[in-house]
Chain A
Amino acid sequence: MTASHSLMQVSAELKAATARLEAGPLGSECLVKVGGDWRLSEPVPSWNSVVGKRTAASVRVVAEDLGKWDTSLVLFLAHGRAWCLESKNSFHAEALPGDLQALLLRVSTMVAPKPMAKSAVKSNWALLETVEKKWASQAMEIVTFVGECALGFIGVARKPRRFRWMDCLVQMQQCWASSLPIVSLVSFLVGVILAFQAAVQLQQFGAAVYVADLVGLAVVREMGPIMAAMIVAGGTGAGFAAQLGNMKVDEEIDALETLGISSVDFLALPRLLAVAIMMPILAFYANALGILGGMFVSTTMLDIPAGAYWIETQNRVGLSDVTGGLFKSLFFGMAIGLAGCLRGMKCDRSAAGVGTATSSAVVTGILLIILADALFALIFNVLGI
């Protein structure tokens, strides 16, 4: 008994959705019989395939052996009704189950969504204007934030005890620890690459020893500080943005503000100072490894002894080159800290916002680094350093 019962159920489960049309005995009336299981996830007949090119004065829909059904049947019937309405026929669904009729009624009383006012295609000028406005507001944001930080530092200078020294030390430690391995590898390889490129050209003139001059100057004046700054921008700067962004999302920054604690003083200044201090140290380290990379290529490939390479480097690279590079990196550090903290604190209150803030911090950081470097190139040129 139970076995046959369950067997029947299984066969019921497998009924395919059907819709048949019969030209009924009432002359011009069409009879549409729907039956079987109607599932959105299964193929179901469409109204057009059922009626074809037929026309009729009225359509009557009846259920015949109807199994389980869902929105697919409602949709089918709604299409039928729309078809009838278009060809000014009458549509009769009174013979269908009550709940199906109720749903069909719901479809007919649904308010069509208002068409969105299509924004006109913007002209290139209008597009340029919006981009311009965005840039202007972002530039304004940066300037305001720089001002707030400057005021904060003046406050710290007045009351050094209020500064969060411990936070600053922790951030310095994290910056150092996270950047050191990559800075080591990248600066060593930059030295190697520069040496290779220089060697190919200089060897033609038998001037291979000048590889030391080229690598030394390029690394100390530009590549060391820049590469170290890029790595810190990608690691520490992005980290600042993610950290502060999360704090913003979790209302932690609000909690500071309602205590009357400035979030710039509390969060941004220790981070800014930490990265501004660490940056020249990392740049110095990058310089050393870059020169080491050049020396490695020279000793192994060009047969220049390490001692000779070192003496040549010392002769060419002066103290002003080194200090100039390190001075620049101090500003690179501040740019990274500014970009990271600013983007973090202006983050949208959502998980996506934190992601955007993080990537934006890296982009802004790198942009500011390059801008600062260009500015310094100009200044150093004028000053003759």
Chain B
Amino acid sequence: MTNSTPASVIEVKNLSCGYGETVVLQDVSFVVHPQELLFVIGGSGCGKSTLLRCLIGLLKPLRGDIAYFGKSFTTADAAQRREILKTFGVLYQNNALWSSMTLAENISLPLEEHTSLSREDRKEIIALKLKDVGLSGSEELYPSELSGGMQKRAALARALALDPAIVFFDEPSEGLDPITLREMDLLILHVRETFGTTMVIVSHQLSSIFRLADRVIVLDREARGIIAEGSPAELAANSTNPRVRDFLNQVGDSPKRTNQPFADKENHFSK
């Protein structure tokens, strides 16, 4: 990164978004700094996915502005929008690999669309990207032939195809076992260290948050916006909002377990 890098990669100003008449988020403002690993967290229905859909341009914001590298995304015309779209990759919750295409074709499509590389160059890049995520040699496989964890990694390879400056992750831990999840987290860190990529991750996997996050943004359904912002350890220890602390310390009001859960068989209703 050169010195001319602006202070913010993404700048969200007074963003309101929702569906039809329901406003999910109101007047949300935040900034994502270069090379930052930002987590967007919050309970179910708090608008995490809605915010992400707005950020990647799948949902038109009701009000407010989103700017990438100082250029407005909301008011961009078709050509500018295309330029901005080129700068980020997205890893979807369901991976969203194109099922009718092989992995090589999946990774090749962004390259075909946005570069004028020759077929041979593309082939080399595909091999490189697949090697990066530990899927060397699976060029000719179809997404349905892969396990969930492998699909996730293949989807990451596709998201990284254009060496984007920003990568968005929608619930990257969804459906992964703890070991695969750890591998995924390490892969994310590896990518960040290698390419200096800025990453925005929507998740509520606590282990990943503490392992990866530089900063977290906590959204809340009732507040319809951000209720806390900071490093996860700091928020877990000193947040003034008890719900934020509860979320990060995962106490909640979960019931205490009895020592012998099945001892009292007479009344399976008890306790």
Given contacts A69-B269, A103-B269, A261-B113, is CB(A254)–CB(B82) below 8 Å?
A: no
Query: Once bound together, how far apart are the Cα atoms of A356 and B90, in whole Å?
Result: 29
Are A258's CB and B90's CB within 8 A? yes
Query: Once bound together, how far apart are the Cα atoms of A252 and B109, in whole Å?
Result: 13
Given contacts A68-B266, A70-B268, A260-B85, is CB(A252)–CB(B96) below 8 Å?
A: yes
Query: Once bound together, how far apart are the Cα atoms of A254 and B94, in whole Å?
Result: 11
State the Cβ distance, A331 to closest chain B Cβ, in Å. 28
Are A251's CB and B94's CB within 8 A? yes
Query: Once bound together, how far apart are the Cα atoms of A362 and B226, in whole Å?
Result: 46
Let me know if A86 is at the binding interface, CB within 8 A: no
Given contacts A247-B99, A250-B94, is CB(A257)–CB(B57) below 8 Å?
A: yes
State the Cβ distance, B151 to closest chain A Cβ, in Å. 11
Let me know if B81 is at the binding interface, CB within 8 A: yes
Let me know if B131 is at the binding interface, CB within 8 A: no
Are A252's CB and B93's CB within 8 A? no
Let me know if A1 is at the binding interface, CB within 8 A: no
A residues near B98, Cβ cutoff 8 Å: 247, 252, 255-256
Question: Across the two chains, which residue of chain A brings its CB closest to B267?
Answer: A99
Query: Once bound together, how far apart are the Cα atoms of A258 and B99, in whole Å?
Result: 17
Q: Which of B82, B86, B114, B270 is packed against the most chain A CB atoms within 10 Å?
A: B270
Query: Once bound together, how far apart are the Cα atoms of A259 and B98, in whole Å?
Result: 13
Are B94's CB and A258's CB within 8 A? no
Let me know if B110 is at the binding interface, CB within 8 A: yes
Task: Give the size of the chain B interface in residues (CB under 8 angstroms).
Answer: 27
Let me know if A97 is at the binding interface, CB within 8 A: yes
The A/B interface has a contact count, at CB < 8 Å, of: 62
For window 164-179 of chain A, which residues contact chain B by CB distance below 8 Å?
none
Query: Once bound together, how far apart are the Cα atoms of A312 and B271, in whole Å?
Result: 90
State the Cβ distance, A381 to closest chain B Cβ, in Å. 44
State the Cβ distance, B260 to closest chain A Cβ, in Å. 16
Given contacts A251-B94, A254-B96, is CB(A68)–CB(B267) below 8 Å?
A: yes
A residues near B267, Cβ cutoff 8 Å: 68-69, 97, 99-100
A residues near B97, Cβ cutoff 8 Å: 252, 255
Are B96's CB and A255's CB within 8 A? yes
Are B90's CB and A255's CB within 8 A? yes
| Binary contact readout B253-271 vs A (1 if CB under 8 angstroms, 0 otherwise) | 0000000000000111111
State the Cβ distance, B94 to closest chain A Cβ, in Å. 5
| Binary contact readout A237-278 vs B (1 if CB under 8 angstroms, 0 otherwise) | 000000000110011101111111100000000000000000
User: Residues on A close to B: CB < 8 A?
Assistant: 67-71, 97, 99-100, 103, 246-247, 250-252, 254-261
Closest 4 CB pairs of A and B: A251-B96, A260-B85, A255-B96, A99-B270
User: Residues on B close to A: CB < 8 A?
Assistant: 56-58, 81-82, 85-86, 88, 90, 92-99, 109-110, 113-114, 266-271
